[in-house]
Amino acid sequence: MSDPTIKGLPPPPTKYDGSDFRIAIVHARWNDSIIKALLEGTINKLKEQGVKQENIVVKSVPGSYELPFATKQLIEAGKIQSANAAPSMIASSTTNLLSLIDNTTTTSSQSQSEKPATATTTNGPSTKPFDAIISIGCLIKGSTMHFEYICDAVTHGLMKIQLETGTPVIFGVLTALTDDQALERAGIGRGEKGKGHNHGEDWGLAAVELAAQNRDWAKGVL
Ligand SMILES: Nc1c(NC[C@H](O)[C@H](O)[C@H](O)CO)[nH]c(=O)[nH]c1=O
Ligand SMILES: CC(=O)[C@@H](O)COP(=O)(O)O
């Protein structure tokens, strides 16, 4: 077993504020007791960093093999949702500009629906594109090569999606050879190694860090 003082994720170099981020979590349902623990650890860590509950979208799929497709579609859905919110903002701003020309139109005559819709409403969930996606699954080796093929496909699939879309995708997939390896990595271990460490916490940290750093990088800020 590796030396616990060497292996593991140190605290982030910067304490990031997650209050302005919108995060999606997509999780498989296979090995549900482990998934539930990982999901709890992830969400708790996101909220600990200030991510608002209403800005954490959680979706599920049957198994880990479905994660890449669902992850890609969630990223696109977030962009579509944001674009759908934008026209009302454009329309309202156009109305405002026209009112400068046509004095018959006053801002007070704007109906509530014409008022600029913000991508982040003051009292509701954000409709901005997702700042990061956390894809969670638990693969446990069986007696065939099924495990190896799914692990390989999911790993490469998730990596490809984040590089293609520019949206950070956190790899939250346990690839365990035994039940106990998975339980320990969900913080619910039952053997002599104790409960272990909930890797969902690491994924929550990584999501906020990558969301923050990527926001800067996307603006050319280093
Ligand atoms: N054996 C595990 C699976 N298998 C199911 C696949 O992921 C997939 O849902 C199915 O082949 C239909 O496409 N999934 C896990 O997440 N974990 C496993 O241990
Ligand atoms: C990860 C899997 O697909 C695996 O649990 C399936 O088990 P088996 O290889 O015994 O069919």
* CATH code, domain carrying 148: 3.40.50.960
Rounded Cα distance between 47 and 27, Å, is: 18
User: Which residues form the domain of 34?
Assistant: 23-82+125-218
Q: Residue-wise pLDDT tens for the chain (222 aa)?
A: 677 678 888 888 899 999 999 999 999 999 999 999 999 999 999 999 999 999 999 999 999 999 999 999 999 999 999 999 876 656 666 656 566 655 544 333 443 333 333 344 456 888 899 999 999 999 999 999 999 999 999 999 999 999 999 999 999 999 999 999 999 999 999 989 999 999 999 999 999 999 999 999 999 999
Ligand 1 binding pocket includes 28 (Cβ within 6 Å): yes
pLDDT at 193: 93
42 alpha carbon – ligand 1 mean position (Å)? 21
The answer to whether residue 88 is domain-embedded is no
Residue nearest to atom 8 of ligand 2 (CA): 142
Which residue has tokens 């007791």?
Answer: 33
pLDDT at 126: 86
49 CB-near residues (< 8 Å, 6+ apart): 16, 17, 18, 204, 205, 208
Length, in residues, of the chain: 222
Residue nearest to atom 5 of ligand 2 (CA): 142
60 close to 27: Cβ distance less than 8 angstroms: yes
Residue nearest to atom 10 of ligand 2 (CA): 142
The answer to whether residue 13 is domain-embedded is no
Ligand 2 binding pocket includes 173 (Cβ within 6 Å): no
Q: 10 Å Cβ neighbour count for 57?
A: 18
**DSSP assignment of 172-201:** EEEEESSHHHHHHHBT---BTTBS--BHHH
The answer to whether residue 164 is domain-embedded is yes
Q: Which of 31, 32, 144 to mutate to test the pocket of ligand 2 (most atoms within 8 A of CB)?
A: 144
pLDDT at 162: 98
The answer to whether residue 91 is domain-embedded is no
Measured in degrees and rounded to the nearest 5, phi and psi for residue 11 equal -55, 150
The answer to whether residue 165 is domain-embedded is yes
Closest CA to 135 of 78, 200, 197: 200
DSSP at 126: B
Three-state DSSP at 124 gives: coil
Residue nearest to atom 2 of ligand 1 (CA): 139
ipTM: 0.98
Ligand 2 binding pocket includes 142 (Cβ within 6 Å): yes
The answer to whether residue 166 is domain-embedded is yes
Count of domains observed in the chain: 1
Ligand 1 binding pocket includes 64 (Cβ within 6 Å): yes
Ligand 2 binding pocket includes 145 (Cβ within 6 Å): no
The answer to whether residue 54 is domain-embedded is yes
Active-site residues, by number, are 146
